[in-house]
Amino acid sequence: MRVVIGGGTGFVGRELIRLLKSKGHEITIISRQPGPGKITWAEVQSRGLPPCEGAVNLAGENIMNPLRWWNESYKQDLIYSRTNTTRILAEAIAASPTPPHSWVLVTGVACYKPSLQTHYTEESEWTPFDFLSHLVKDWEAAGQLPENSARKTRQVIIRPGAVLGRDGGAMKQMLIPFWLGLGGTLGSGRQPFPWIHVSDLAGIIAHALQPTEKLPNEPDVFNGVAPALNTNFEFTKELGMVLKRPTIFPVPGFLLDVFLGLERSVILTQGQKVVPKRTLESGFEFQYPDLSSALKEITGSK
C-alpha cells in the first residue's frame, strides 16, 4: 500500500513507519517542514491528498510536554494541533477523486471517565466531562467523513492508553528516576493504568489499514490498550523489579497538581479500566499483552 501519515516523525510514527516499511508499504509523511519523503500540511490543503490506499493521523502537541506550563495558550495549542490537522486530512480524503480505502485516526482513552469500578469497552457510551474528554470529542468529530465519502473509505478510531517504548513516550521521562532508585507510585497508586507497548499500537494501526469488504455505517473504534488491567502501583512495582531498583518514593498527588496543572495531572493520578474488546475480536494478537514482557523488552532485561 501507499500510506500517508500525519505526524509521522513522532514516537509512534517512527515505529509505525518501521513496521509498514518492513511489510513493503510506501510511506509519505505530512509534516510542518518539507523534506525527502515528506509533504507539508499546506500542500495537502492546496493540492489535495497524494494517491494512497491508507491515511493515518498521529499529529498533535505533546500533552505531557515538561517544557510547557499548563495555561490557556497551551490548551489551545493542544486543541488546534489535533483538530486542525485531522480536519485537513478528512477534507482532503473527502475531496479526493481516488480516496484511500482506510482512514485511521489515533486519539486517546481520556474520553472515558476515571473510575475504579467501571470497565470500558469500545461499545461503552461516554459524555465529555472535562477538558481532555472534550478534546477527544472535538478531535474525533473533526475526522468524521461526510456520508458519501464514508461509503468509499473505512473510518477507524484508535484510542490508546499510555504508550510505552524505549525511544520515547511516557517511559523516556520515567526511566531516569527509576534507574536512580527514586521511582515510586503516583498519588494513591490505586488508579487504573491503561497502557500499550508502542509496537502493539503500531500493529493495531497497520491492522486497521487493511481493506475490508463491507464498510460499517459508523467509524470502527479500537481501544489501543493491552489486555492486562493494571494499576499504577502494579506498574511501579513491576518496573522496579525489572530494573532491580527500589520503588519507595511515592509522589503525592498534590505535587503533580501543582507542577502539571489540575486538568493535566489527572492523566497520572486517575485512570480508567479500558478493555480492548473489539481489538481482540478483530483478530489482532498482542506481542506484549502483559507488563512483564513489555517492560523487559523496553529495558533490555531478561
Task: Give the model confidence (pLDDT) of 258-295 as tens digits.
Answer: 999 999 999 999 999 999 999 999 999 999 999 999 99
- Mean pLDDT for 190-214 is 95
* Average pLDDT along the chain: 95
Q: Which grid coordinates are listed for 156? A: 477507524
User: Cell 461503552 appears where?
Assistant: 124
The CATH number given to whatever domain includes residue 128 is 3.40.50.720
In a domain, 46, yes or no: yes
Which residues, listed in sequence order, are joined to residue 102 by a DSSP beta bridge?
A: 54, 154
Burial 5-42 (b: 16+ CB within 10 A, else e): bbbbbbbbbbbbbeebeeeebebbbbbeeeeeebbbbe
pLDDT digits (tens, 9 = 90+) for 135-186: 999 999 999 999 998 889 999 999 999 999 998 887 887 888 898 888 999 9
In a domain, 24, yes or no: yes
The domain total for the chain is 1
Residue partners of 236: CB distance under 8 A and separation at least 6: 183, 184, 185, 186, 189, 247
* Domain residue limits at 101: 2-163+195-227+273-287
Other beta carbons within 10 Å of 248: 11
Is residue 249 a contact partner of residue 184, using CB atoms and an 8 Å limit? yes
Three-state DSSP at 26 gives strand
In a domain, 169, yes or no: no
In a domain, 176, yes or no: no
In a domain, 201, yes or no: yes
In a domain, 22, yes or no: yes
Please state, for a pLDDT cut of 70, what percent of the chain lies above it. 100
User: Cell 506484549 appears where?
Assistant: 288
Is residue 6 a contact partner of residue 57, using CB atoms and an 8 Å limit? yes
Burial 201-215 (b: 16+ CB within 10 A, else e): bbbbbbbbbeeeeee
Residue 78 has pLDDT above 70, yes or no: yes
Q: Which grid coordinates are listed for 201? A: 499500537
In a domain, 262, yes or no: no
In a domain, 97, yes or no: yes
Q: Strand 54-57 and strand 119-120: pairing?
A: unpaired
Is residue 144 a contact partner of residue 90, using CB atoms and an 8 Å limit? yes
